Amino acid sequence: METVDLARLQFALTAGAHFLFVALTLGLATLVAVIQTWATLTRSPVHMRMTRFWGQLYIINYAMGIVTGLVMEFQLGLSWSGLTEFAGNVFGSSLAIETIVAFFIESTFLGLWIFGWNKLNRWAHLALIWVVTLTAYASAFWILISNGFLQNPVGYQLKDGVLRLTDFGALVANPAALVAFFHIGGGALVVGGFLMAGVSAYHLAKRTAEQDFFRKSLRIGIAVALPATLFTATFGGIGFDTLQPTKLAAWSGSARQMAEAQAEMVAAHGPGDYLPSLEWVRTSGIIMMSLFALLFFVSGASFLLMLIRPVVRGFRPWHWLLTALIPVPFVTMIAGWIFREMGRQPWAVYGLLKTADAMSPVSYGQIRFSLTAFVTVFAVLIVVNYWLLARTARKGPGEVALGDDRPAAETPAPALTF
Amino acid sequence: MEILILAFFAIGYLVLAGADIGVGMVLPYLGRTPGERREAIAAIAPFFLGNEVWLVATAGVLAGLFPALEGSLLSGNYSLVVALLLSWVIRDMGLWLRGRLPGVRWQGFWDGAVVAGSWGLALSWGSLLSDVLLGIHGLLALLPALLVAALFATHGLSFAALRLRGALRERAAVLSGDTGEGRTYALTATALVAIGVLAGFRLPLAPGTSGALLVPVILTMIPLLVASQAWVWWTFRHRVTGPSYL
């Protein structure tokens, strides 16, 4: 592998890992905020317990989202300084806005939500989770404005070999960004809804003590997942109108379209190979769409099944199916990202800067070192965190630390001697 | 104005996060038993999320207002920045994971991650700053780096002395003597501000071309950001009375 391939692999793995956690963060935050609203309005104890249980899963997951996100943010300057120098004045603006307008507040208020449980007024506490949720979406929005610019550059002027921002409105109204934002926002709710339904189904199948708790949760999960699946697919469909000609040609697989797209690019940019990898684009696209079909049929059927109470209580094959499907929305989303990003190649900024020219002047050895280190650390952390998520989900609401009035001492405190 | 904005977030990070990094560094000294360590961590628990976000914002400001510097500073110090990030990740996960399971070994392991990560962070910052400030890199940079790390640790101790009670507070106040905890904290904070300002003078701070758009946005946001953080500080203004969620 060349140095640039290693740098790409490093970014792809970081971004992929980040997105696994971020998607669930967005989806679960929304669900938790809605449930906490109900709990606050009605003072329903079961909904308060639901807030704590699903909130606990949300936080375990959130921590991984932060640490992968940090590495991703810094990686732009670390290994892609060619990109930041060339396009930083444009796509860096939305990154800056993301950190200041969204993430700063999200993170500060999340800390207050976690540690201020039982300390703050309950309406203030409710307001916090809503701010955290809305700023999470704002974060996703501004990141996708940056990503959308790389896919479909707008609102800029090329001067002295560097881009400058000339039209902020065009940058924000970029269809390649907006359509993706709605597509991904919907996808996050699919992830969250299926997780909630799947975990609940596990407890219903196992006939654990919390039948009422998980019957309610299962219904919420499915009721969100079905419309979210349709919403996501709608914007995915609209998204095809915003695809680059080369990506579209590779997706179609038609030799004529590919030759046309290639010829157009050669005419505009000089000789070179301008088509993305056919296999990556087609395989990831097909995986995304077939898994969507699966999720759509299962959530549709589940929506009908959940209306019948004895079925919700006792139809075990359906329970096991829902539990087994928990990972599927994650795979679908990652496939979607591969489709989007591999299809942009060989460009870092479509039509303006090639990926090979976007790299920092760093050596093969440096990237190999960082890639090895990040992969090792993240592999361990991802395994540990998924194991903890599964364990916490399996144990059920009885042992949730979040919002506990008196955190248990881990060991009996020895008598103090002076 | 671009430079002042960058300074605001970078120095804010050094002062605020410097304290929780420092507490992580001296954790084995402050907490001799698992219970004491958990209480020592409760001193920083409500703050560390809101503290580290200052560095995320600093990186965002670099990306938007100083894109050329962002590239050269980070890629020019590639291995150091990678070490900094790894330490940051390991430390954060130590904080998040330590309380997820009962058991002395599990918690001991992640407490170790907190300590190692905090030292790694402090030393990476020290090496980065000695590169920027003195132009020293390589093994020799470890000397000024150790000095900066010691400053972080002292800053952490003074913060812990302000937040903890009883034996833990006494241990944390070991360097304060008769000066008082608040004054020690002010002193270490001033030293960190001074280092940040000096580093700023040594960096090639030539803003990019997006200031006209971003500066008003950021200036409008700053009072809101400070208010949101002040809410956290106010909520947790009292001394720690027991273990927290972490």
Q: State the ipTM, two decimals.
A: 0.92
pLDDT at A413: 45
CB contact (8 A) between residue B64 and residue A63: no
pLDDT at residue B5 is higher than 70: yes
Tell me the CA distances in angstroms from A300 to A148, A225, A228, A275, A297, one per residue in order: 32, 9, 11, 38, 5
* Residue in chain A lying closest to B74 (CA): A78
Tell me, rounded to whole angstroms, the distance of Cα A157 from its chain centroid.
Answer: 31
Look at residue A406 and tell me whether its pLDDT is greater than 80. no
Q: Which of residues 4-63 of A touch B (CB under 8 A)?
A: 60, 63
Distance CA A389, CA B147 (A): 40
pLDDT of residue B174: 87
Alpha carbon separation from B150 to B29, B133, B147, B225, B227 (Å, rounded): 14, 17, 5, 30, 31
Q: So what's the pLDDT on residue A79? A: 95
Pairwise CA distance, residues B177 & B157, whole Å: 12
What pLDDT, on the 0 to 100 scale, is given for residue B89?
A: 96
Question: What one-letter code names the amino acid at B198?
Answer: L
Helix (H, G, I), strand (E, B) or coil at A307: coil
Residues B145-193 pLDDT 10s: 999 999 999 999 999 999 999 899 989 988 877 678 889 999 999 999 9
Query: For the residues A127-150, what does the mean pLDDT come to?
Result: 96
Average pLDDT over residues A167-190: 95
Domain positions in chain A are 3-244+276-399
Q: Phi and psi dihedrals of A159, rounded to 5?
A: -140, 130
Tokens 């093994």 belong to residue: B139
Quick check: pTM over 0.90?
yes
- Please indicate whether, in this complex, the C-beta atoms of B68 and A111 are within 8 angstroms of each other: no
Which residue of chain B has the CA closest to A68? B89
Q: Do A407 and B46 make contact, defined as CB atoms within 8 angstroms?
A: no
pLDDT at B141: 84
Confidence label for B142 from pLDDT (cuts 50, 70 and 90): confident
Check residue A414 and give its pLDDT.
Answer: 46
Cβ contacts of B32 on chain A, cutoff 8 Å? none
Mean pLDDT of A401-418: 57
pLDDT digits (tens, 9 = 90+) for A270-315: 898 999 999 999 999 999 999 999 999 999 999 999 999 999 988 9
Q: pLDDT at residue A116 above 80?
A: yes
Task: Write the CA distances from A331 to A15, A181, A326, integer angstroms.
Answer: 14, 18, 10
Structure-block tokens of residue A382: 């991802």
Q: Are A176 and A374 in contact (CB under 8 A)?
A: no
Segment B49-107, tens digit of pLDDT: 999 999 999 999 999 999 999 999 999 999 999 999 999 999 999 999 998 998 889 99
Query: Rounded to 5 degrees, what angle do the CA atoms A71, B231, B217 make?
Result: 60
Question: In angstroms, what separates the C-alpha of B147 from chain A's closest C-alpha?
Answer: 25
Percent of chain B with pLDDT over 70: 100
Q: Which residue has the tokens 């797209």?
A: A261
d(CA A348, CA A366): 21
What torsion, rounded to 10 degrees, do the Cα atoms A150, A152, A158, A162 define? 0
- Cβ atoms within 10 Å, residue B223: 9
Test the B interface: residue of A115, A366, A395 with most B CBs within 10 Å: A115
CA distance B53 to A67: 11
Region A129-145 average pLDDT: 96
Contact flag A410-B102 (C-beta cutoff 8 Å) = yes
Question: Could you give the angle at the alpha carbon of A376 between the alpha carbons of A371 and A377, nearest 5°?
Answer: 105
Give the A window 133-172 contacts with B, CB below 8 Å: 164-165, 168
What pLDDT is attached to residue A407?
Answer: 56
Assess A339–B contact: CB distance below 8 Å, yes or no.
Answer: no
Cβ atoms of B35 and A410 closer than 8 Å: yes
Contacts for A180 with CB less than 8 Å, ≥ 6 apart = A144, A147, A148, A151, A235, A239, A242, A340
Rounded to a whole number, what is the distance in Å from the CA of A128 to chain B's nearest CA? 11
A173, pLDDT greater than 50: yes
Rounded CA-CA distance B128/B135 in Å is 9
pLDDT in tens, A328-359: 999 999 999 999 999 999 999 999 999 999 99
Determine contact, residues B209/A374, Cβ cutoff 8 Å.
no
Taking contacts as CB-CB distances below 8 angstroms, the residues of chain A near B208 are 88-89, 92
Instruction: Measure Cα distances from B123 to A228, B92, B141 in Å.
Output: 47, 16, 10
Mean pLDDT rounded to a whole number for chain B: 92
Measured distance CA(A109)–CA(B49) in Å, rounded:
9
* Tokens representing residue B74 in the block: 């980070």
In the prediction, which pLDDT does B134 show? 87
Q: Which helix (H) or strand (E) holds A348?
A: strand A347-349
The count of CB pairs under 8 A between chains A and B is 231
Q: Which of A223-232, A386-395, B99-108, B187-196 has the lowest mean pLDDT?
A: B99-108
Q: A115 CB near a chain B CB, below 8 Å?
A: yes
Contact (CB, 8 A) for B146 and B124: no
Residue A248 has pLDDT above 50, yes or no: yes
Share of chain B above pLDDT 90, in %: 78
Instruction: Average the pLDDT over A402-411 and give the result.
Output: 62
Let me know the angle formed at the C-alpha of A159 by A156 and A161, rounded to the nearest 5 degrees: 105
What local confidence, expressed as pLDDT, does residue A189 receive? 97
Count helices and strands in chain A by DSSP H and E runs: 15, 4
CB spacing of A111 vs B48 below 8 angstroms = yes
Its sign, for the CA torsion A160, A162, A166, A167, is positive
Could you tell me the two tokens for A30? 């929304």
